[in-house]
Structure 1
Amino acid sequence: MTYYIYIIYSEQYDKYYVGYSQNPWERLIKHNTVPFNTFTSKYRPWCLRAVFKVGELKTEAIKLEKFIKKQKSRILLEKLIDSNFILTGKLAQLVRVPHMRN
């Protein structure tokens, strides 16, 4: 199975969230509907802003998600969302994918 890194955004609260999943489109639905008291449940609704293909290894997806989160940088997240931003360094292995699906 392929793993992805995704970035979602809450316009109402002006917050970003980064996660990994095998299906970020389905995961977005869960972020917006699951009734548990979580970080993302407090800032609904969320919209998908960027999706990146990581590869077949879950450990690699986790490692990259943690790397992005440890930066604690809104600027980095906004650069990642920008389709013109060139991924370098540890992020160079990410492959931007269209996030709109029917």
Structure 2
Amino acid sequence: MAYYVYILKSLSDQSYYKGFTENPIIRLEQHNNAESKYTSSKIPWKLVYLECFEQKKDALIREKRLKKYSHQQIEQLISSGKNCLSDLRTFISAG
């Protein structure tokens, strides 16, 4: 099983949200359907960054670190291109 740490960007106010999930597609839908109290006021959300992990504990450690990042650090991370978002897009296209 894979575990993911993700970053969402609010298209309404350009803020970021960092989280952990086992299914990034369903989790994004939950955020955009106002099923998450914290993010419901900033809909719509776009998935802009995704990291994949084999171990749940590693993903949770990474999520905790990312939550401490500044807005600028998050933007640098996203622009680095070092994520598995393209793998997810390929998977969705093939499905």
TM-score w.r.t. length of structure 1? 0.76
User: How many residue pairs are counted as aligned between the two chains?
Assistant: 89
Change (3 A) 1:11 1:5: same
RMSD: 1.8
Which consecutive aligned stretches of 4+ in structure 1 deviate over 4 angstroms post-superposition? none
What is the match of residue 41 of structure 1? Answer: 40
Matches within 5 A, 1:1-102: 1-35=1-35, 38-53=37-52, 55-71=53-69, 73-82=70-79, 85=80, 96-97=83-84, 98=86, 99-100=88-89, 101-102=92-93
Gaps of 5+ in 1: 87-94
Gaps of 5+ in 2: none
From the two aligned structures, give the one with the greater helix fraction.
Answer: 2
Percent identity (aligned): 35
TM-score w.r.t. length of structure 2? 0.81
